[in-house]
Amino acid sequence: MYRLISIFLYLSGSIYFLMFGTYIIVLSFIIGHKYLYPTLPFLTRVQLFFLGAWIRIKNKIPNDQTYIIMMNHTSFADVFFSMQPLRGKYTALLASFNFKIPIWGTMLRSFNAIPVYRRNKQKAIQAIKQAETIIKELGYHVVIFPEGTRTTNGKLQKFKKGGFHMAINTGVPIIPIAVKGGFNLKPKTRWYIKPSIIDIEVGKPIDVTKYSVSELDQLITHTRNTFLELLKEREN
């Protein structure tokens, strides 16, 4: 049954994505991407509806300063999930393969998204430095998935250090956002979709100014424990 539903969802989602993506690309070229941010939560929520996801959001991101947004990585739709509670201007660090996908890659570039080359340490460092520049010079929020790749078992994976270096170097607080239901919707290891309710909970800002580079592991542990609490998970 889910396989038949998935075929319909993929078809309807693809048709909507073509319209949505074309709209974003054309208007970005005409008026500039910065005027499109207010439309993204609605447009991406419609996209998620066509992919079988019903969204519930708990708490709001404060609108008082720039933040580094960290989110657990459970599903192919996580980038769209991240846009639901976000307001203001933002960009994201995403795996480089995303930028090779027609329309999607063009959209990402129009919003200054930054490709991360997972197997090239030097390029990965350059991506973090580029994100730091965007934070300092443009004041954009930056979205990053600290696990680096989607979970294959539904559990929170080990965190990479890059996003935490970025936080300490810029002094910008981290906001953890926990997504529950994304793994059930469409995990990395399954092709078909199970329509699901997606709960997105925004955690409290984490002050990174209390940590030095030598205390990076402590910051990672604190952030990870915050995620585990939001997700109601226990370490193995």
Residue entry with tokens 């109601």: 232
* Token duo for residue 235: 């370490």
Straight-line distance from the first to the last Cα atom of the chain, in angstroms, rounded to the nearest whole number: 34
pLDDT in tens, 83-110: 999 999 999 999 999 999 999 999 999 9
* Token duo for residue 67: 């933040």
Residue 92 to residue 112: CA distance in whole angstroms: 8
Residue 80 to residue 36: CA distance in whole angstroms: 15
Residue 21 to residue 17: CA distance in whole angstroms: 6
| Residue 69 falls inside a structural domain | yes
The answer on pLDDT for 9 being more than 80 is yes
Rounded to two decimals, the pTM is 0.93
Q: Please tell me the predicted confidence (pLDDT) of residue 207.
A: 97
| Residue 100 falls inside a structural domain | yes
Q: Please tell me the predicted confidence (pLDDT) of residue 89.
A: 94
Q: Number of folded domains in the chain?
A: 1
> Which residues sit opposite 94 in a β-bridge?
115
Residue 120 vs residues 96, 112, 115, 143, 160: alpha-carbon distances, Å: 11, 20, 11, 20, 14
Domain hosting residue 178, numbered range: 2-231
> Which one-letter amino acid corresponds to residue 141?
H
pLDDT in tens, 116-133: 998 888 999 999 999 999
pLDDT in tens, 136-182: 999 999 999 999 999 999 999 999 999 999 999 999 999 999 999 99
| Residue 14 falls inside a structural domain | yes
| Residue 236 falls inside a structural domain | no
| Residue 109 falls inside a structural domain | yes
